[in-house]
Amino acid sequence: MPNRTLTLGEFLIDRPEEFEYDNAELGQLLNAIRLAGKVVSHEIRKAGLVDITGTIGSTNVQGEEQKKLDVFANEAFINTLTNRDIVCGIVSEENDEMISISGSDNRNRNKYVVVMDPLDGSSNIDVNITVGTIFGIYRRVSPVGTPVTEEDFLQPGNLQVAAGFIAYGTSTMMVYTTGNGVNGFTLNPAIGTYYLSHPNIQVPTKGNIYSVNEGGYVHFPQGVKNYIKYVQQEEEDRPYTSRYVGSMVADVWRTILLGGIYFYPPSTGKPDGKLRLLYECNPFAFLLEQAGGVATDGTQRILDIKPTDIHQRMPFFGGSKEMVEKAMTFMK
């Protein structure tokens, strides 16, 4: 890391154009998210030393078995966002219903809602693989001063005012966009400060890595099967390398940095796909596009899709522009 690298706080102050509405509000929101990320990062790093791994014997709204760290991360982010008194509502993967938050004056004056997957890839926790938090931020559409509504969350991804993720791996990183490019910050755990480590991130227009759970191959649509066979063929620039972690944060972050394509297609068992549109697909689609990449559901731009349910599922194809566009020719 260079001798003089901007901290996340300094970066926000130096870029007043970062946010369309109020830079101070953006700072408060991102401060809350980065603080909760530090708390979760600390807990993950001691997971092997205390009774925090494993399941708690219950399932979430997705029908997925909840890990202890899922619950911890969810509570950490909800509590931190609530205490900052700037968010009027939260949708989390771990909660069946939206969470309505009244401000300190109990009048719902706050202007923003947050959607999040508090611990993506948590099934990997017990084997020490990178996991992460995914988040998106919207400006509410209901009148300020009234209770938050589902319509505040059911906005297309192109109306996000900010989105990003925190990766908990060999280092803890926070990567975000507000529609003015993508920047990444790495946490120095010794002093608890995030430093700018990846400025102005750009997705290579083409890569040589494809990332998909090929265990579901027999259940994929024929177009997806044909594309997988295409990337495996011996040609001048192929076969591509297969890499799949099973944590969307890890797989898409690699795709952003190195180029490639990540996809979670529909299948006979999951015709609508598996990934959640609101708090997985939309934030990453925003990041990818801001870094020069592409994200679609196989037929249309992810960010143009109007959600119909807070836990709606969606197929996802994202990554390097040339590779995604080529995959779409097979989907047709």
Question: Is 213 annotated among the ligand-binding residues?
Answer: yes
Whether 111 has a pLDDT exceeding 60, the answer reads yes
What is the percentage of the chain residues whose pLDDT exceeds 90?
70
pLDDT band at 288 (very low <50, low <70, confident <90, very high): very high
**Was 20 annotated as part of a binding site?**
no
122 labeled binding residue: yes
The full set of domain ranges for the chain reads: 8-198, 209-331
Contact criterion met (CB below 8 Å) for 135 and 279: yes
For 250, other C-beta atoms within 10 Å of its C-beta total: 25
Average pLDDT estimate for 233-254? 94
Q: Is 93 annotated to bind ligand? A: yes
Q: Is 304 annotated among the ligand-binding residues?
A: no
| 264 in a known ligand binding site | no
The arithmetic mean of pLDDT across residues 66-78, rounded, is 87
pLDDT, one tens digit per residue, over 36-65 is 999 999 888 876 544 545 455 545 555 555
Q: What is the pLDDT of residues 184-210, one digit of tens each?
A: 999 999 999 999 999 999 999 999 999
Overall pTM > 0.75:
yes
The sheet with strand 160-168 has its strands ordered as: 99-100, 87-92, 112-120, 131-139, 160-168, 172-177, 182-188, 193-198
According to the annotation, is 171 in a ligand binding site? no
The superfamily in CATH containing domain 8-198 is: Fructose-1,6-Bisphosphatase, subunit A, domain 1 (3.30.540.10)
Single-letter code of the amino acid located at 171: S
Give residue-wise pLDDT tens across range 293-314.
999 999 999 999 999 999 999 9
Name which of 22, 60, 41 is nearest 137 in CA terms: 22
Query: Quick one: fold of 209-331?
Result: D-Maltodextrin-Binding Protein; domain 2 (3.40.190)
pLDDT at 275 over 80: yes
